[in-house]
Structure 1
Amino acid sequence: MAFTHRRPPLAVSLPLICVAFISFLAGPASAQGKTGQVTVFWGRHRDEGSLREACDSGLYSMVIMSFLDVYGSGTYNLDLSGHSLAGMGDAIKRCQFLGVPVSISIGGFGGAYSLPTNQSALALFDHLWNTYFGGSLNDTRRPFGDAWLDGVDMFLEHGTPTERYDTLALELAKHNIRAGDGKLLHLTATPHCRFPDTRIKEALDTGIFERIHVRFYDDPDCAAGFSTKEWAKWTAAYPFTKIYVGLPASPQAAKSGYTDPATLRRAVLPVAQKATNYGGVMVWDRYFDKRSNYSGSIKNWV
């Protein structure tokens, strides 16, 4: 039987979704302090090691597979830099058994994606839901078999403020609330450091994202790395969302913005952890992290 679902109008669903997410995410109004949460991007280098190895390392609280980099025109492509898909479903289940959720990131550095209309956004939802999550359309190829991923991340390098990532976010959030079997669908975003990132602002302003990983690298406004000014803007704008400090794992991982572990411990984390919605650190990416042991060096301070 084909999987079907009904879509309530956005004007009706938005208040319900926001109330549910705010209730879920809101915490005590006190400084967050250490969380031990380290998110890593995986899938950009064939020789970075396997997904299973990344989860078995014990370093990460979430792994984001990157990227689904073609969508919006009826064609979809998952680019994992030549990693074999054989056994990937078992690796995902292994990560989940260890308590490490595995998400899929949409967007990336190519130019073959856009969401110009609500229809294209809903079509992308259908593809994601039936290919990587709980859908069961008979003619859909599931590259990971019966393994379900745990979330969707939005990593946008191009686009306009009118693109319909808000529509996609709302549709994903509705399925989070009624996912069944106690399985949440983590909705995250990885914007540039300068606030606001207009590519994804409309989506973030729905207030339904669980986490935002702010990229304090490869951005002229954060050429020196962490920016106290921009951090304050992000944490103030989305008080019910956990905000992560996004950093490259080595000087080679980004053109600018590398922050060495000592500076991170002395000057960055004491500032970031004062925010009540501090979430942790996002590291770009597993390939460079494996070689530098950046996550291993900072985990106890995060």
Structure 2
Amino acid sequence: MAFRGRSCALSLLCLAVVLSFLAGPAMAKKTGQLTVFWGRNKNEGSLREACDTDLYTTVIISFYSVFGHGRYWGDLSGHPLYGVGDDIKHCQSKKILVLLSIGGGGSDYSLPSFQSADDVADNLWNAHLGGFSRGVFRPFGDAVVDGIDFFIDRGAPDHYDELAWRLAWYSRHGGKKAVRLTATPRCVYPDQHVEKALATGLFERLHVRFYDDARCSYNHAGLSGVMKEWSKWTARYPRSQVYLGLAAANVPGKDDNVFVKALYYDLLPNVQKAGNYGGIMLWDRFYDKQTGYGATVKYWA
């Protein structure tokens, strides 16, 4: 999931283009919701800096990537843990939702049994959510993330439904703060890695990745290819808000960045017809910082 950044920072010319679009059709169903993944490149800046751009309504920390076999750990790609907890609180003070994403592209996670799902839920609750248990390390101190995002790209799909149910149990019985559940599936429906988990009906939103797959990315499959899968996701999960997941820079060799004109005039007006359209998700903060893509699309979301 590495992307090659392409310089597209907002210049006066870009700004003029943006302003010329403001009266256009893509404003019709905007929600103003822009989500970004943070934590995959040490050069993207701190979590606090991301929130202080005032671009994003949700920031997803990625990834809690070692779990299911008696080990629990996250990888923030060179970011020091010191200060992340305070940054989480700072973002939340600005009414920005902060989620922790589990999974990712590594191979050090899976749920081989019901017990492993229960153990992971227990660790998430006590290490990152509202629980505090002696002997459980809290990498972000006493900061409490708002919820858990399922970004499951490897291994068997088993027991993620049980993990979701257990987290929901903690949400109801474990403390004052509810645990919000989201997922970030691949765009071809269904994504078998999270299909069982989503069948629980516990997920309030889905950030569907319409990139990194020629079958359903706009620049390869066209609008019809996107809408074929988008319609399936929005129809199958009508109680979940569905976000259009985009790359903020091109995937090497795949040309997955959607140019802003096509996004504004073609893609957004169509996906926004869904009653449960939620907004835009960007991968990721590092590339968005390089290209200025989020600043361009923020008010069209």
TM-score by length of 1: 0.86
Q: Partners of 2:253 and 2:120 in 1: how far apart? A: 30
Offset, 1:286: 0.1
Match of 2:195 among 193, 201, 221: 201
Check whether the contact 1:253–1:284 (CA below 8 A) recurs between aligned residues: no
Matched, 1:61 2:57: yes
- Aligned in 2, Cα 1:117/1:194: closer, same or farther, shift over 3 Å? same
Q: Is the 8 A contact 1:213 1:244 kept in 2?
A: yes
Q: Which amino acid aligns with 2:199?
A: D
Out of 101, 126, 140, the residue aligned to residue 130 of structure 1 is 126
Give how far 1:287 is off: 0.1
Q: Report the Cα offset of residue 184 of structure 1.
A: 2.9
Counterparts of 2:252 and 2:126, CA distance in 1: 33
- Per the alignment, residue 137 of structure 2 pairs with 141
The offset of 1:198, in angstroms, is 0.6
Q: Distance in 1 between matches of 2:199 and 2:134?
A: 35
Greater CA drift, 221-230 or 172-181:
172-181
1:184 aligns with 2:178: yes
Matched, 1:221 2:220: no
Aligned amino acid, residue 145 of structure 2? L
Out of 134, 144, 159, the position equivalent to 1:164 is: 159
CA shift in 2, pair 1:264/1:128, >3 Å? same
Question: Which amino acid in the other structure matches residue 229 of structure 2?
Answer: E
Counterpart in the other structure of 1:257: 256
User: Would you identify which runs of 4 or more consecutive aligned residues in structure 1 move more than 3 Å?
Assistant: 177-181, 223-226, 252-256
Alignment of 1:276-287 (within 5 A): 276-287=275-286
Q: Give 2:25's aligned residue.
A: none
| Contact 1:217–1:256, Cα closer than 8 Å, also in 2 | no
Aligned-partner Cα distance in 2 for 1:276–1:253: 34
Q: Deviations over 1:139-177 (max 9, x none)?
A: 11111111101110111112224x110001111122233
Shift in Å, 1:253: 7.4
1:39 is displaced (CA, Å) by: 0.5
Q: How many residue pairs align between the two structures?
A: 269
Q: Secondary structure at the match of 1:158?
A: coil
| Other structure's SS at 1:136 match | coil
Q: Distance in 2 between matches of 1:211 and 1:232?
A: 15
Gaps of 5+ in 2: 1-27
TM-score for the superposition, normalised by structure 2: 0.86
| C-alpha spacing 1:179/1:59, structure 2 compared with 1 (3 Å) | farther
1:78-118 superposed Cα distances (whole Å, 9 cap, x missing partner):
10001011111111100000001111111111111101211
Alignment of 1:174 with 2:166, yes or no, is no
Gap runs ≥5 in structure 1: 1-31
Letter matched to residue 220 of structure 1: A
| Pairing 1:1-302 to 2, within 5 Å after superposition | 33-161=29-157, 163-178=158-173, 180-181=175-176, 183-225=177-219, 227-252=226-251, 255-302=254-301
Question: The residue matched to 2:112 in structure 1 has which SS?
Answer: coil
Root-mean-square deviation (CA, aligned residues, Å) is 1.5
Q: In percent, how many aligned pairs have the same letter?
A: 51
Partner Cα distance (1:175, 1:272) in 2: 34
